[in-house]
Structure 1
Amino acid sequence: MASEYNRWYHPYEVNDKYKKRVAYFSMEFGIDQALKIYSGGLGFLAGSHMRSAYELRQNMVGIGMLWKYGYYDQERNEDLTMRPHFQEKNYSFLEDSGITVRVLVDQHPVLVKAMVLKPETFGTVPMYFLTTDIPENDHLARTITHHLYDPEPRARIAQSIVLGIGGAKVVEALGGSDIYHMNEGHALPLAFRLFEVYGKLSEIRKRLVFTTHTPEKAGNEEHDIHLLDDMSFFNGATLEEVRELTGMHGQMFSHTLAALRLAKVANGVSQLHGEVSRDMWYENEGVCEIKAITNAQNFNFWADMDLWHAQERDDHTSMIRRKQDLKRELFKEVANQAGKLFKPEVLTIVWARRFAAYKRADLLVRDMKRFMEFISNKEMPVQVIWAGKPYPFDYGAINVFNKLVNLSKQLDNVAVLTGYEIELSRKLKQGCDIWLNTPRRPREASGTSGMTASMNAAVNVSVQDGWLPEYARNGENSFVLPIVDTSMSDERQDEQDYNNLMNLLENEIVPTYYHNRDRWMRITKQSMRDVVPHFESNRMAHEYYEQLFNS
């Protein structure tokens, strides 16, 4: 292997605006369909960041994990319900960087090998993926990097140690970094590696920045501090030192709060999420400033250029023709998986993202009688597609997925697809007319899938959460639900959001699509024009340097 990947190296002349060295740590990266080391939105976001860092010639490297079994392969049982399947993955395009480092996990030495993804492979900055699945380790150590988001707490802690401490040591072997960026709190042990090297909280803060993605305290990871200590999470720092550094004096150790006290600056991932995060965490002493940098997605990777150029020419005919071609591509997948022949001229609604309770995949079918009337309208027909991966051990979310599968068996114009990974995501975004987003506000920190849908002439129909308040203008570039009172019970919020959604679909959206195509095209084009450049990841990658790394 070329020796340059044993040191900090980029195949381009670094842009002077971005010359500070940055190591970007993330538990998952959605780089390409061929590299299955991601679960969902966090990974898609990190992948777009790596692509834009490359396009802008930034002095950055990515540090991630090489998951032997990925997240999981979403397959079906005999009755078409969902079955998680774990299958070994191998990647010939990853090369041994020549770097192997040693970490302690549960007081035992574990070797961590760094495999390099070269920039020319997928158009990213150099990326180093860590694996413990090497012959020099014992069986238990080898399993640390087997499963993304392993359900066993001790395994998750071990994964954080490998990413944080192992990743920090890999960066040191490359020549060191000016800034260490934690994308979410999974890599927190790297702060304790910095403490070992530099010895002072002030020195950690010079180098560490943090992005938080979770807008509820209950969703932010915490563990018993003694368990973390026993597992070697603190990299040799005594509990007295850990408590002094982090201000954690109780039994439970909050990873997010510790990160906010150890970093020089942090950010939420939309303007609304920045406000929510400040409300959540500023009541605690010693936390750093929490800014807001809205997530974004990489245009060159996600946008269909024929569709985009037709929009630029204001060529309605070419736009409609290209959109129908893209719908046909999506409908081949529907036919393949569900045995149904969808029609390109019919309004197609897609709900596709991670299945989690707060995202409310089944909101559209809350009143089954009303849904059946809506889906059976012959004069203004509608097709609906659901797709998404539940966490493989979230049985409530899997039950929702299976409920929709069973419903789809009764209807020729409803389909539920498996395998929601990058390529299916692309087909769904390029092939839908409506991208439906139904989280309980304000629980969606950002959400980015609607951005890439807009790049491909899909209209967002959404709750005003995450990034949408910065983008959406109801009836002009999207359709947004009225904001409901979040102090109400979940049941009452769901009822109001459902009625607002159905009224919007029945009385405005569907009639506009079929009876006012000029207005529909104006909205579609405006949705494309408004999403770029503000929600394109080159803007985001620039702002990270401007607001976090160079601050």
Structure 2
Amino acid sequence: MIIQKKSNTIVWKDIFTCVELPAPLKRAEELAYNLWWTWNPAATNLFERMDPDLWFETDGNPVKLLRSLSLNRIDALLHDAAWMQNLDEVYMAWQAYMSAPTDSSRPSVAYFSMEYGLSHVLKIYSGGLGVLAGDYLKEASDSNVPLTAVGFLYRYGYFDQRISVDGQQLATYEAQDFNLLPIQAVTDEGGHPLVFEVPFSDRTVYCHVWRVQVGRISLYLMDTDLEKNNLSDRQITHNLYGGNWENRMKQEYLLGIGGILLLQHLGISKEIYHMNEGHAALISAQRLADYVEQKGLPFDVALEVVRSSSLYTVHTPVPAGHDYFDEELLGRYMGHFPHRLGISWQEFIDMGRTTPGSSEKFSMSVFALNTCQEANGVSYLHGVVSRSMFAPVWPGFFAEELHVGHVTNGVHLPTWASPESQAFYKKHLGTDYVSRQADESTWAAIEHIPSDEIWQLRSQLKENLLHYITHDYRKRWLRANDGSANLPEGLDCIGLNTLLIGFARRFATYKRAHLLFTDLDRLSRLVNHPDRPVRFLFAGKAHPADGGGQGLIKHITEISRRPEFEGKIIFLENYDMHLASKLIAGVDVWLNTPTRPLEASGTSGEKA
């Protein structure tokens, strides 16, 4: 008999400690856990005044700020009468906002998306699709629409970007500490973190569920990074748009099938089910199964019920933006569904094929079109392009006869209007301008504002940007690079009389970031003119699998380091929502050069 002694076995446990805030500061904690602060300057200013240096060190994350406050600073705040009064005012404004009754005349909505751009501190977004989704939730909150959203909480999110000395994009993935994010775990009846079970074809995948409060709107995020899952399944929610095609299949299964089951588990039922891109198309598969198995409806009847309450938003005409799965891979995850629906495998897979009966791959976009009564592009031109692109799905109809429409993308005004702009609008348009923003007459007052006041605002926003990139951005850049890499030159040489032109977005090749550089001699004359200084600010990430996009970044970086362009063409690393807000407010001109008609709407331009 062998006796193994375990008395010296090391057992690791995670322990998280922080200062317990006194009762008077608990209201600040409540505010920190509702992303209402992201579009209310009074709230962000309140947090910054708690400790300006710590606010910078925590990258403007109020939860991390509160967890990092020293006892001395807490005591100072409690004795700061002006700050405590400000806390009362902001808290009362938030309470009044939250207590407004829901608009019961609007249909209730369940919204599904792979990404949400809500704040730079919550890394669950990559580009315009996510920014639209995040702004959509904020606008739903302001409009008091009964909406609930579903997505993923990514452990590593989208990557952080660094540019090497030779201009190469370096992608690094840093784990998010969920304890320091403005999110809260959903708990079970016993007060323990909910472990939600999602049945896959041959196993169960377990999820923790987190709630993000976006004003009046709840966003539920699934997280599979649990010890109960095998390593492969833990990685489902590690990265946004990461991994191989099988991991993408798992993600879309979890978002669609798991998302509907999660809402059912939480007792949430809605009138409209909205797929933000084809990633969420499988919500229709689960809803079909529910109507057939639980309501006893024949498949054809169930399909009409699902169609009548489903909406699909398509975001791009670029083929890479639409997911196609091999039949074998699809069968491994969805092979059990036809039996549940009372149809054959051939009938099921044909719902995702442009040509039924062919050997085409299964298209999530086509499946969405076949299970949604309504579909829309995100601009007028994109609607036209989408009807043409999807025309083969409905043979015998002209493209212009199809039901694919458009709803032009917008952005959430209070999120992207700077604090100075918001104060300016309140002064000249009325304190209720946000609720009247869709009324054209609201903006007619602009014509009567003295030009010098508008120019004063423009100059202030430009000065804010210049201060940011010469101070805050510089410090962040040096901190991220351990002070060892070459800081972009020319940041200190930009004046208020310099024409600033901005280009910041995803570095996809069709957006043609390189177009400016087709005539370098002419460009050199422009940026080196002695009387009319011009500077170009570039920012943006290329997907790690997009060699062409990364090549554009390298090309622009190399040109920016040539003697005639040094300090005149500047690439700012690690583009995110925080940097975006500074750039779109501060530059004079926003450059947009996509290949027509591949740019569906251009969210960066919408922000500007």
Amino acid at match of 2:508: A
1:300 CA drift (Å): 0.9
1:297 CA drift (Å): 0.3
| Cα-to-partner distance string for 1:239-265 (whole Å, 9 max, x where unaligned) | 234146556433311111111011111
Counterpart position of 1:527: none
Counterpart position of 1:131: 223
> Does the Cα contact within 8 Å between 2:252 and 2:282 map onto a contact in 1?
yes
Distance 2:513 2:183 in 1: 36
Counterpart position of 1:298: 412
Q: Could you say what secondary structure the match of 2:162 adopts?
A: strand
> Does the Cα contact within 8 Å between 1:161 and 1:233 map onto a contact in 2?
no
**Equivalent runs, 1:365-444 vs 2, <5 Å:** 365-410=517-562, 411-444=566-599
> Does the Cα contact within 8 Å between 1:189 and 1:235 map onto a contact in 2?
no
2:346 is the alignment partner of 1:194: no
Distance 2:379 2:497 in 1: 35
Please, which moves more after superposition, 391-400 or 356-365? Answer: 391-400
Distance 2:449 2:118 in 1: 32
Amino acid at match of 1:36: K
Candidates 260, 265, 268, aligned match of 2:369:
260
> Does the Cα contact within 8 Å between 2:113 and 2:280 map onto a contact in 1?
yes
Candidates 148, 152, 170, aligned match of 2:240:
148
> Does the Cα contact within 8 Å between 1:234 and 1:242 map onto a contact in 2?
no
Please, which moves more after superposition, 103-112 or 378-387? Answer: 103-112
Counterpart position of 1:179: 272
> Does the Cα contact within 8 Å between 2:208 and 2:223 map onto a contact in 1?
yes
Counterpart position of 2:154: 67
Counterpart position of 1:162: 254
Counterpart position of 2:6: none
| Cα-to-partner distance string for 1:496-529 (whole Å, 9 max, x where unaligned) | xxxxxxxxxxxxxxxxxxxxxxxxxxxxxxxxxx
Q: Number of residues paired by the alignment?
A: 442
Distance 2:335 2:260 in 1: 13
Change (3 A) 1:233 1:16: farther
Counterpart position of 2:177: 90
Counterpart position of 1:102: 197
1:45 CA drift (Å): 0.6
Distance 1:361 1:416 in 2: 12
1:276 CA drift (Å): 1.0
> Does the Cα contact within 8 Å between 2:316 and 2:600 map onto a contact in 1?
yes
> Does the Cα contact within 8 Å between 1:352 and 1:386 map onto a contact in 2?
yes
1:110 CA drift (Å): 0.6
Distance 1:124 1:419 in 2: 31
| Cα-to-partner distance string for 1:339-387 (whole Å, 9 max, x where unaligned) | 4222121111011100011000010001222211222111222111110
1:152 CA drift (Å): 0.9
How well do the aligned residues superpose, as a CA RMSD in angstroms?
A: 2.4
Counterpart position of 2:68: none
> Does the Cα contact within 8 Å between 1:107 and 1:232 map onto a contact in 2?
no
> Does the Cα contact within 8 Å between 1:29 and 1:38 map onto a contact in 2?
yes
Distance 1:80 1:318 in 2: 41
Counterpart position of 2:453: 318
Q: Could you say what secondary structure the match of 2:393 adopts?
A: coil
> Does the Cα contact within 8 Å between 1:171 and 1:177 map onto a contact in 2?
no
| Cα-to-partner distance string for 1:460-512 (whole Å, 9 max, x where unaligned) | xxxxxxxxxxxxxxxxxxxxxxxxxxxxxxxxxxxxxxxxxxxxxxxxxxxxx
Distance 2:518 2:589 in 1: 19
Counterpart position of 1:349: 501
> Does the Cα contact within 8 Å between 1:189 and 1:234 map onto a contact in 2?
no
> Does the Cα contact within 8 Å between 1:211 and 1:268 map onto a contact in 2?
yes
Change (3 A) 1:240 1:233: closer
Q: Could you say what secondary structure the match of 1:401 adopts?
A: helix
Candidates 114, 125, 141, aligned match of 1:27:
114
> Does the Cα contact within 8 Å between 1:151 and 1:393 map onto a contact in 2?
no
Please, which moves more after superposition, 350-359 or 251-260? Answer: 251-260
Distance 2:351 2:196 in 1: 26
Counterpart position of 2:313: 211
Amino acid at match of 1:331: L
> Does the Cα contact within 8 Å between 1:104 and 1:232 map onto a contact in 2?
no
| Length-normalised TM-score, structure 1 | 0.76
| Cα-to-partner distance string for 1:147-169 (whole Å, 9 max, x where unaligned) | 10014111111111111111111
Distance 1:291 1:429 in 2: 29
> Does the Cα contact within 8 Å between 1:112 and 1:162 map onto a contact in 2?
no
> Does the Cα contact within 8 Å between 1:192 and 1:234 map onto a contact in 2?
no
2:164 is the alignment partner of 1:77: yes
Change (3 A) 1:46 1:387: same
Candidates 16, 26, 40, aligned match of 2:104:
16
Amino acid at match of 2:571: V
> Does the Cα contact within 8 Å between 1:217 and 1:280 map onto a contact in 2?
no
Amino acid at match of 2:464: E
Distance 2:335 2:530 in 1: 60
Counterpart position of 2:19: none
Please, which moves more after superposition, 276-285 or 138-147? Answer: 276-285
Distance 2:520 2:178 in 1: 45
Change (3 A) 1:66 1:172: same
Please, which moves more after superposition, 216-225 or 196-205? Answer: 216-225
1:207 CA drift (Å): 2.6
Distance 1:216 1:74 in 2: 24
Change (3 A) 1:228 1:301: same
Query: Unpaired runs of 5+ in structure 1?
Result: 454-551
- Looking at both structures, which has the greater relative contact order when contacts are Cα pairs under 8 Å and sequence separation is at least 6? 1
Distance 2:406 2:506 in 1: 23
Greater CA radius of gyration, 1 or 2?
Answer: 2
Distance 2:495 2:286 in 1: 57
Give the percent of matched residue pairs that are identical in Structure 1 and Structure 2: 32
| Cα-to-partner distance string for 1:89-132 (whole Å, 9 max, x where unaligned) | 1233211223543224463321122210123xxx3511101111
Counterpart position of 2:210: 115
